[in-house]
Structure 1
Amino acid sequence: MSPKIMPPTIRPYGDHALLIEWKTDGFSETVNDTIHALAAKLRESRKYIEVVPGYDSLVCVFDLGKRSMAATKNHVEDILSRQTLRSAEIGKLVEIPVNYGGAFGPDMETICASAKLSVDEVIALHSQSEYRVCMMGFIPGFTFLSPAPTALHHPRLSTPRAKVPAGSVGIANWQTGIYGLESPGGWQIIGQTPLSIFQAKREPHFLLTAGDRVRFIPQ
């Protein structure tokens, strides 16, 4: 049985969007499951311009010419009240091949030293879990995943790199994630996938979407 969670706060987010936000003490798998189940139901209703899930919140954007703020809030509250919400189907499972360490993972030794583990042990630990895609941002395709194993938690770089290659797999505090494009970044990079998480000329543009599941496959 999933742990019981408190109801979220629901408030206007501008004049044509709602912010639904749960109070959590760190990452909550139950809250994130609820967020993605709610996001799926809102998308299924076809009443929203955009639905954007996060770790502990969700923003839904609606057409103010067709729906009022009050009607939208009532719709969200009605969905949240249903007992079947958390049984919504989880997103697709995507296997992500990763070249760990060496030139692909310039911060692998830092993580090994911090975790007091060998390279092989870090790789095994990082790749043994199935991760949830909790949210997408801050650049196209950047994939924020559910927590890395506790032993691998490590702060961001004190000075971000000017360029982090697309496909880089990194750790920042308790998070693990994948860079969708080359960009500046301060995550501790432990590997790189040859897959393109984002391609503007591809349909769909994104290999992963919020709610999907990821399993890393060492190469």
Structure 2
Amino acid sequence: MLITTFLISLLAFAGQSSAATWYFLRYYPASGQKFTSFSGEMAIPSLPKAGVYYLWPGLQPTDNSGVYQNVLDGRSGTWWIGSGWCCSNPSLPWGSGFNTYANEKVTFSNTLDSNGSGWTSVLTRQSTGQKVTDNFALASKSFNQVLFAIELTDVSWDFGPLAFTNVVITSTGTDSSWCNNKPENYNGATTYSISGLSASVSGNTVTCKIASVILQKPA
């Protein structure tokens, strides 16, 4: 299954022997298309305690060799967010990041460079203007999955809803039907809401705009 490599790769990032519990939504583009950017705002929830909480938006390629993600990490007891590729093929250093706190918003932007040489991630902490930019040599990857994910190991979903707003996703091609379809809800595990959906096509680019994506609670 496509999900198998994805789960294994993220478990390797977590460095845990325990199995993770997953909640995520996933979009696929139309056949033959690939994603070229993924951006939005992530509302930072409360962090009840130090634990293996990984909350993230991300992109997965057609070969399911890993995941390119902006991870909100709760292991230290204070949220930290950073961008990176997990976990090998290729092996890349993790990007930079910063601490962030409940009720803040962090803007994320992941974009295929105009010359197709790689991907650039920008994270901005809106309350302070703090910004980090990282580049990843992922030009060989064709990304066909956009994910809004909650990954938990030995902790429960005890932090409330996870909300993304002002989401913009672009893909190659002219078929925008994927934007209007419901995302895959992995194992039907998540109660979620989506609002403010619109799709447009210009030239060979599909732009999907979503006002909000909220992973509300376990189903």
Structure number with the bigger relative contact order (C-alpha 8 A, sep ≥ 6) is 2
Higher strand share: 2
Higher helix share: 1
**What TM-score comes out, normalization by structure 1 length?**
0.22
Instruction: Work out which of the two has the higher radius of gyration on C-alpha atoms and give 1 or 2.
Output: 1
**What TM-score comes out, normalization by structure 2 length?**
0.22
